[in-house]
Structure 1
Amino acid sequence: MISEKINALLQFVKFLHSNINNFKRFDDIINDYNLLCTESSKLSPSKNHNDKLRSDVLQLDIDAKFNVIDVNIIQPIKLKARELNISIQTFNDVWSENIAEICAFKRSSSDDDALEILPYKSMYIELKKEVNWLGFLGTFSSDLDKILKELFDYFSEKTENKIDKIEMVEVDSLPLLQFQAGKPDELEKVLHPKHDPNLWNNDCFELFKYLFDEYYKGTIRQITNIWFYLKEYNSKRYKLYATKDSYKFFIKDNYKIEIKNFDKALLKWEEKEYEKIDEHRQNYEDGLK
């Protein structure tokens, strides 16, 4: 018998499949978005003035196109996932919350269960062939794919396509502000949110973005170190208004990274990290000259 959790996954697949044509209306915008991101990724705005001017222009267009994608594709998908109580916030939630139940279901499944599952498997295979927006779902997409493969492949005949034979179509550059739980090493450019004057002045925000792109390599400590540096660096140019709490909320809301321990390793900070971040700041300012 199909459980409530497994049925929720199946209904989510049905929702995605039923919206293939609806979401495909935005294919041109997605393609334009990818081209803009590709062009932007080739620029060095921190090192070249003309590149910075071009990057600023591109970013406005990128933000506008992403907003269309977000409103018409990402948010409806997130809303449906929440309605079905499917976790979408952190990597591996979908897997960890469903794998035990799927394993138990496979042990007790009947022929009737297989007949009920197979149409959803076909829907999912068609979905992955037809759409070009799965990459916008970030790690949630790969996590969902992993758990559905575990379920659907169990009901595959040798002559049938298995899920892993269908390559997932992903966008060229993924915005981390929606689903991503961290910063993969292979991503060189992050699409940052818009400037919030309640958190910092514009110069400080530009420096934050540079440090996030150049200094941050995936650890929470590096993210908190950026806040400490912006707070301690004695300059009238960079004005940080964000408290620890508002900074933590900003990071979680925009980059899906949760800061639990907001302290610093004093010895390492004084001997290494402050100096390292300061060198990044100098490189940033040299690039603006």
Structure 2
Amino acid sequence: MITQKIKALFQFIEYLHSNIENFNHYNGLIMELETLNNKRNELEPGRNYKDKLQYDKVQAEIENKFKTLQENTANLIKAKAKELNLCNFDNAPIYNFNGIINEIHQLKNNFIDKDLSEIFKHKSQYIEYRMQTHKTFLSLQIFFNDLDVIAKNLFDYFKDTQQNEFEAFETKAIPVNSIAETIQGFKKGQTKFTLPGSVLFNTSTNERLQNEALPPQQTETKTPTAPAIALLCNLINDAGIIKRKTMKYLRNIVNVFVKNTV
């Protein structure tokens, strides 16, 4: 049975799908902003006054165009999600989708035949929207990452093929070898990474050798050590993030699927 929260998700998908053409009107503006950002990155305002003058000019243009983009895309999307009580943005960029995963689990267990047409219809609409529009509008990457996970959790259950229907647009995890590389990737707008377990977990050589001899089901799950967490916090602080907000940004910087190295 389709519950109220699932209905809200479907209404939100309908809203996104109905605005594909409207949102795509701003693709040219997004390209302009990306070009301006590249131009800004080439300038060195701290070294020369001419670069500083040019930097300020480019920055003002970026801010003006970015405001226009947000008012006509991202802000509307967030407003609709709030209106439907689909998502709580109070702790953004940590988004609370109000327990919808629990109701998705219930739907998988309790769906009836007449639910299927609604489910397939909205799956098609969601995939079409994500395939045909800009992925983030330069500000909603984490929101859509989370929404993709929710949608995939639901729609992947209701499919007749082994194909990954989200392959074309879902965020791929980027392999990195250190927390510093993770932070650099985050600065570039990436939000999902894979780190070797040895980076976050304090595993001695003897422990690794011992665990290598164990069957997979006997391998212990290790927790991050204090030095690893301290190192992460220091690197985050070095990246210019205020320490009191460290936990808030851990969600973004270390959206890590830790690879088991034992």
* CA-CA distance at 1:144 after TM superposition: 0.8
Q: Percent identity?
A: 34
Structure 2 matches for 1:168-187, cutoff 5 A? 168=170, 185-187=184-186
* CA-CA distance at 1:101 after TM superposition: 1.3
More helix by share: 1
How many residues get paired? 189
Does residue 123 (structure 1) correspond to residue 146 (structure 2)? The answer is: no
**Partner residue of 2:20?**
20
Structure 2 matches for 1:216-231, cutoff 5 A? 216-221=239-244
Structure 2 matches for 1:92-241, cutoff 5 A? 92-94=95-97, 97-134=99-136, 135-158=138-161, 161-168=163-170, 185-188=184-187, 215-221=238-244
Q: What is the CA deviation profile of residues 145-178 of structure 1, one whole-angstrom value per residue up to 9, with x for unaligned ones?
A: 110110111111116x534312259xxxxxxxxx
| Structure 2 unpaired stretches of 5+ | 172-181, 190-235, 252-262
CA distance in structure 1 between the aligned counterparts of 2:88 and 2:245, rounded to whole angstroms: 25
CA distance in structure 1 between the aligned counterparts of 2:158 and 2:74, rounded to whole angstroms: 30
The residue type equivalent to 1:220 in the other structure is K
CA distance in structure 2 between the aligned counterparts of 1:101 and 1:219, rounded to whole angstroms: 36
Q: What is the CA deviation profile of residues 224-250 of structure 1, one whole-angstrom value per residue up to 9, with x for unaligned ones?
A: xxxxxxxxxxxxxxxxxxxxxxxxxxx
Change over 3 Å in CA distance of 1:146–1:222 after alignment to 2? closer
* CA-CA distance at 1:80 after TM superposition: 0.7
* CA-CA distance at 1:30 after TM superposition: 1.1
CA distance in structure 2 between the aligned counterparts of 1:149 and 1:184, rounded to whole angstroms: 27
- C-alpha contact 1:44 1:52 (8 A) present in aligned 2: yes
- TM-score, normalised via structure 1 length: 0.58
- C-alpha contact 1:125 1:166 (8 A) present in aligned 2: no
Change over 3 Å in CA distance of 1:53–1:88 after alignment to 2? farther
The residue type equivalent to 1:3 in the other structure is T
**Partner residue of 2:83?**
83
- C-alpha contact 1:46 1:52 (8 A) present in aligned 2: yes
RMSD between superposed Cα atoms in Å: 3.0
SS at match of 1:186: helix
CA distance in structure 2 between the aligned counterparts of 1:82 and 1:222, rounded to whole angstroms: 24
- C-alpha contact 1:129 1:168 (8 A) present in aligned 2: no
CA distance in structure 2 between the aligned counterparts of 1:64 and 1:121, rounded to whole angstroms: 36
Q: What is the CA deviation profile of residues 46-71 of structure 1, one whole-angstrom value per residue up to 9, with x for unaligned ones?
A: 34433322221111111111111111
**Partner residue of 2:36?**
36
| Structure 1 unpaired stretches of 5+ | 170-182, 191-212, 224-251, 258-289
* CA-CA distance at 1:216 after TM superposition: 4.3
- TM-score, normalised via structure 2 length: 0.63
CA distance in structure 2 between the aligned counterparts of 1:73 and 1:4, rounded to whole angstroms: 26
